[in-house]
Structure 1
Amino acid sequence: MGRSKSHNKLYITKTEWTHDFGGKKEGEKKNAFRPLPFYCCSLSLQHLDDPMSNENGNLFDLVYLMPFIKKYGKDPITNKTATMKDYFPITFSKNENDEYHCPILNKVFTDFTHIVCIKTTGNVYSYDAVNKLNIEAKNWTDLLSDKPFTKNDIITIQDPVNRANKNNISSFHFVKEGLDFSKSYDSTTTTSNNNNNNNNEDNGNVNSNEATSRIFKELKEKGIPLSEKEQERALKEKLEKQQKEEEEQEKKLMTEDEKKKILFEKFKKDKQEKEEAIKKHAVQAPSFTSTGFTKKEFTEEHPSLTPGKKTKKKGYLQLKTNLGDLNIQLHCDLAPKACENFLSLSESGYYNGVTFHRLIKNFMIQGGDPTGTGSGGQSVWKKPFKDEFSPLLKYNERGLLCMANSGTNTNGSQFFITLKADLSHLERKHTIFGKVVGGLEVLKTMEMVKTDESDRPNHTIKINAINIFENPFNSLDEEQFEEKLKQEKKESQKKHFTQQLDKDIEGNQISSWYSNPTPQQKVLNPSKDVGKYLPTSTNASTSTSLGKRLNDLPPPKNNTLKENLIQEQLQKKSKTTGSFGNFSNW
């Protein structure tokens, strides 16, 4: 007994007081916070179709707001006197995934995004876009329509900091008072229907709206008397029919872009599976006996040794230096390996801050070495890659972009730009992979910089950044897919043409079989006359019974396309007049 007394509590716990001793039990909180999403109507609590807003940033659907204002004449949230002039329409923007987003920053709206709208235009943006591009820049024009506005026209729709106070459904006036706006809307539409029908009939349990009243009106115009049950049944059938028609229409209205997108995804998947299958089967198959032993081990080829990716497009970028900008075109179709290396290093920021360490006037300017010594730098694959020479690329103009190397197949990250038109001694020694297409005056400024004895510029020439305008290697799958579609289209057209030609040839054969001999048959079986005026003896081959049988045989069925074309040409020649080939018109 003594031991148990030491563990006895000298107080009653909350649970004991609530359950065992009849203490106070917690009930439901009256003002429990229930946030309303920004894309929902503050009246119907449903998704917005025709959004309207007021200066407080409360959103309503036009279909529900008009009957409420007409009946009560007050704002549903604040209970202040209001008219429809106090509200204005707003416009949300959506992305490809049908999500609400900021049309300027392309950021998707969430429940924790600061969202604002411009009262004069109704366009909806994120606060970050308006703050940076309007408020801080003091640019008081709409970002989409360029329509002017004031700072007071910026209305907050959703503020994550004040979300609990603004979007609390339980604090709305019509919720507290229990105002039934749906009945008011139904009653107005019902009275209008009754006035149009000149009677006081009720539509039964059917919720009246614009669609139902229009359907009842159509049925009555057709002279169909409807009772309440018949009305409900007819309305239900018609609505189901309309829904099915809309679904079928949506299926048919699948755009060509969507079909193309599905086919492209399938093409990428098939291509990936083929590449994986090639890798799996590249290793030598295991042998059943020990004679299959080989000392060589299969090793995957290093990326620097593989051939470049094939593309038919050019690449474009801008090389920004402290002396000016150079616009460069890359020959991705003729030197894909060098172009891929240069573009990949540029995207990673490898050349940012790198100087041109060598300058020889009337020859070239060299850079691309992060160490600035002329002996550093490496390719994007961490190993040197092979030279690429094309007969279409010659050292015959100024401003060529070429790879610098220390020997055959030792290309890394260093490059040079030519400052002279004729440098034929560099042919098949350095890869040409681009040329300067804009900013040649900047190149001239670089050439005029003085150098020391080791050809190092006295004034620093530095690459600040490289802006890539077009990288064809990023869209290589799309290019291959487009090429495949063109090839398939060409093959289908060719197949259709040959099928049509075969049908025409077959029709000509049937006509020659069942009808009188045509000029076509005469051309197929030409006589052995000498010219036109000296006929030979005709009894040589037809004197025997075998010759007669051969002459009685029908024309051959396997008439080829070549024979048909020859016949047409011969027929055209026979119609020509005034030539020395035929003495009939002499």
Structure 2
Amino acid sequence: SLSLQPFEYPVCTQDGTVFDILSILPWIKKYGTNPITGEKLDAKSLIKLNFAKNSEGKYHCPVLFTVFTNNSHIVAIKTTGNVFAYEVVEQLNIKPKSYKDLLTDEPFTRQDIVTLQDPTNLDKFNVSNFFHVKNNLKVIDPEEEKAKLDPSYYLKNTNTETRETLLELYKEFKGDDILAATMKAPEKKKVDKLNAAHYSTGAVSASFTSTAMVPETTHEAAAIEEDVVRYQYVKKKGYVRLHTNKGDLNLELHCDMTPRTCENFIKLCKKNYYDGTIFHRSIRNFVIQGGDPTGTGTG
């Protein structure tokens, strides 16, 4: 659930969320939380799981010998960590009320049955709801980051012919390394929860379709312009006091309606841009006009 990859050394939480111990321990050491729910998590509360495998290396129920699939109802026993199909536990433990592990004969209670996978409850596997996915949290592995520098890292499954072809290309076209060294990626804007857009930068698709782009393999949220982010929080009016030879005028600015215009006006006032302005025309209850009495545009 954390690495989104098949596990090698499975453990689970008290609510049945499965992790690979090599992934969850560094996370707990850094954050001390459950990466799925965001709640506090202690390494001591993790349950070591014992999955049985058949001769083909596939996980299966050690009693029914049926291979586990995405549609299997899978449970584990807390006290032993043994994993079974729910049908077996229901028929041989729950209904006869004989709560003993089917492999070790160790006693347990009904509360010790943990559901790892229930095909009727798919919300548990909705990756978009995972705490670490929504908050873009991760534990950086130095070895993995180093491996990412090699393009072959992103080739999950390749046949022998493909590997040989790529190796041949790598030997022949050394010029790509020189070209890549001269290319500089554009400076990226810092993205946080306030300025993150609901769409990506498009760098992945652009680098895939154009050889002029720096190769990019990870999707990143685009950064919304700073003005757009700031202006949406402006909810109040602004006020400016204009000193004239006839007295002071208090001006109300509709910052909540025209934030950019009002910001521009206030900044110019702070720079004393309007000092000494001569108002040559006054239209009652409408507007006063100044700054260009000749109408020539030269002031």
TM-score, length basis structure 1: 0.25
Structure possessing the higher radius of gyration over alpha carbons: 1
Tell me which protein shows more helix as a share of its residues. Answer: 1
Tell me which protein shows more strand as a share of its residues. Answer: 2
TM-score, length basis structure 2: 0.48
